[in-house]
Amino acid sequence: MSTATLAPTTAPRAGDAPAAPSLLRLVRVELRKTYDTRAGFWLLLVVALAALTVVTLQMLFAEEPDKTFAMFVGTTQLPVNLLLPVVGILLVTSEWSQRTAMTTFTLVPARSRVLTAKVIVGVLLGLLGTVAALLASALGALLTPILTTDATDWGISAGHLAQVALLQVLTILIGVAFGMLLLSSPLAIVLYFVLPTVVTIVANTVGALAWVRDWLDQATTMAPMFEGLLSSGEDWARLATTVALWLVAPMVAGWIRIIRSEIG
């Protein structure tokens, strides 16, 4: 600290106009922010370890019919699906809890560009999470005949893979949307886990709310995607209404709030 120098800065330049950072650049920055802190790094590591743990347990202790690649895929996506939305929430809320929003939005005053970059990062992380879970599943399917006496089966449908990937992307984006709406890590994380569960319980016990269960309950309309079970047009319509409530609505409201709000 005492070595502070008075070395002159480069002279302030005349008013040339440096280009605005491209969206790709902002996406790189936002992606890097998810793993360059201790908390972010460990969270991502835990996601990967959880997928590996699930594979190991399933490989060593599950009954024989559970050893297919498709079944591994169904189970490895679960821990990823549980934890990745937290990464999505923190992607937004840490800017407020750590107050870095001030720096972020003074460097990029066009706030929508930053938010767009964060949503794209959410999509990328959802896809990366899917790939990580697929790799863990492949490892399980590969090692099953080597480490155990059971057989394995590599068959999986493209539809199943697509639904799993879509599910991961949608869930992390729900996390991002909760973060945008609430701008508080603990509040967003608690409500993200509690609200859908409450809706599931209420909608399944109160008979008059059967329409809520059928059209708005994540456990009913989204969870079957783990197994690639969405098939009819109505299934997809139910997914769409659920996504509109849990993802689109909070994201739009949060987006508007962030654009208008005072930072700092």
Partner 1 sequence: MITVEHLTKRYGAQLAVSDVSFSCAPGTVTGFLGPNGAGKSTTLRAVCGLTLPTSGTTAVAGRPYRELPNAGRHVGVLLDAGAQHAGRTGRETLALAALVQGVARSRVDEVLQQVGLAGKPAGKRVGKYSLGMRQRLGLAMALLGEPQVLVLDEPANGLDPEGIFWMRGLLRGFADRGGTVLLSSHLLREVEAVADQLVVIAGGRIVAQGSSEELLASTGTLVRARDRAALTGALAAAGIGVTPGPADALIADGPAEAVGIAAATGGVPLLELRPAGGDRLEELFRSLTDPTAGAAAAADRQIQETSA
Interface residue list for partner 1 (CB under 8 A): 1-15, 17-21, 25-26, 28-29, 32-33, 36-40, 94, 98-103, 105-110, 260, 262-264
Residue whose CB is less far from partner 1, 7 or 208: 7
Residue whose CB is less far from partner 1, 2 or 232: 2
Q: How far is the CB of 177 from partner 1 (least distance, A)?
A: 22
Rounded distance between C-alpha atoms, residue 73 and residue 147, angstroms: 19
Measured from the Cβ of residue 205, the count of other Cβ atoms closer than 10 Å reads 9
C-alpha torsion sign, points 168, 174, 175, 180: positive
CA dihedral 215, 245, 159, 162 (to 10 degrees): -170
Q: How far is the CB of 262 from partner 1 (least distance, A)?
A: 4
Q: How far is the CB of 92 from partner 1 (least distance, A)?
A: 14
Phi, psi of 153 (to 5 degrees): -145, 125
Contact 215, 241 (CB under 8 A): yes
Residue whose CB is less far from partner 1, 24 or 57: 24
Residue whose CB is less far from partner 1, 56 or 98: 98
Q: How far is the CB of 84 from partner 1 (least distance, A)?
A: 19
Rounded distance between C-alpha atoms, residue 71 and residue 55, angstroms: 10
